[in-house]
C-alpha cells in the first residue's frame, strides 16, 4: 500500500442553483367557510327571487286565463243572441213591427240572371185566415192580461191554502178542547170516587 492519494474522480459540472418556488399556501379554514357560506347565501337569495318571480307570473297567467274564459263566455252569449236575432221567427216579428205581412203569393227572383218568376201582388193582411196579426200595443195588452190572470190564480191558490190551514188549526183546537174537557171529567170522577 502506498501512501499516495487516490485520484479524485472528475467532477461533473454542478447544476446552477435556482431559488425554490414558495409553497402554495392553502386557504385558511375560516375564510374558506365564509366564501362557501357567501356562495350558498347568494344562491338561496337568487332562488327566492326566481321563485317569487315565477309565482307572480303564474298569478298573472291565471288572471289572464280567467279573463279569457269570461270573454269567451261573453262572446258565445253574444253569438247566441245574434243567432237568435237572425232567426226566422224574430225576423218575422221585426217585419210585423214594421207593418209587413207575409205574402203567400209572392214573386221569386232568380239570382244568377235576375229574372222574376211569378207575379207579385199587394198584401192586405188577410191572405192567411188562420194567422192573426197584432199591433205591438195589442201584444203588450195580451201579455199584461196573462200576467194579471196568473197573479190572480196564484193569489186564489194561496188564499185556498190559507183557508185550509185555518180550518185544520180550528179542528185541532176543537179536538184539543174536547180532549181537555173529557180529561177534566175523568179527573172529577176520580176525585169523587176517592175518599
pLDDT, averaged in runs of 10, over the chain (195 residues): 65 73 75 91 96 95 96 95 84 78 79 84 72 72 90 94 94 92 85 64
Q: How far apart are CA 14 and CA 162, in angstroms?
A: 133
pLDDT at position 152 is 94
pLDDT at position 57 is 95
Question: Which residues lie closer than 8 Å to 124 by C-beta, 6 or more apart?
Answer: 101
Q: How far apart are CA 15 and CA 21, in angstroms?
A: 17
pLDDT at position 7 is 66
Q: CA 93, 95, 99, 101 torsion: positive or negative?
A: negative
pLDDT at position 150 is 93
Q: How far apart are CA 74 and CA 25, in angstroms?
A: 74
Question: Which residues lie closer than 8 Å to 131 by C-beta, 6 or more apart?
Answer: 102
Strands (E), 4-92: none
Contact 101, 125 (CB under 8 A): yes
pLDDT at position 26 is 66
Contact 78, 72 (CB under 8 A): no
pLDDT at position 186 is 84
Q: How far apart are CA 171 and CA 130, in angstroms?
A: 55
pLDDT at position 3 is 64
Q: How far apart are CA 98 and CA 115, in angstroms?
A: 27
Q: How far apart are CA 170 and CA 160, in angstroms?
A: 15
Question: Which residues lie closer than 8 Å to 119 by C-beta, 6 or more apart?
Answer: 107
- Read off the pTM: 0.35
- For residue 155, report the phi and psi dihedrals to the nearest 5 degrees: -65, -40
Amino acid at each position: 500500500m502506498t501512501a499516495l492519494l487516490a485520484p479524485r474522480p472528475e467532477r461533473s459540472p454542478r447544476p446552477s442553483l435556482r431559488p425554490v418556488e414558495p409553497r402554495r399556501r392553502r386557504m385558511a379554514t375560516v375564510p374558506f367557510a365564509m366564501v362557501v357560506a357567501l356562495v350558498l347565501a347568494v344562491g338561496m337569495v337568487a332562488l327566492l327571487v326566481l321563485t317569487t318571480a315565477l309565482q307572480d307570473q303564474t298569478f298573472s297567467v291565471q288572471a289572464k286565463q280567467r279573463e279569457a274564459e269570461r270573454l269567451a263566455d261573453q262572446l258565445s252569449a253574444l253569438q247566441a243572441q245574434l243567432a237568435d236575432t237572425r232567426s226566422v221567427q224574430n225576423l218575422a216579428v221585426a217585419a210585423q213591427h214594421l207593418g209587413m205581412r207575409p205574402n203567400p203569393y209572392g214573386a221569386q227572383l232568380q239570382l244568377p240572371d235576375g229574372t222574376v218568376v211569378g207575379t207579385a201582388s199587394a198584401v192586405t193582411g188577410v191572405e192567411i185566415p188562420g194567422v192573426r196579426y197584432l199591433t205591438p200595443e195589442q201584444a203588450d195588452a195580451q201579455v199584461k192580461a196573462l200576467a194579471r190572470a196568473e197573479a190572480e190564480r196564484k193569489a186564489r191558490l194561496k188564499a185556498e191554502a190559507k183557508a185550509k190551514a185555518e180550518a185544520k188549526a180550528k179542528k185541532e183546537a176543537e179536538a184539543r178542547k174536547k180532549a181537555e174537557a173529557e180529561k177534566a171529567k175523568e179527573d172529577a170522577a176520580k176525585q169523587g170516587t176517592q175518599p
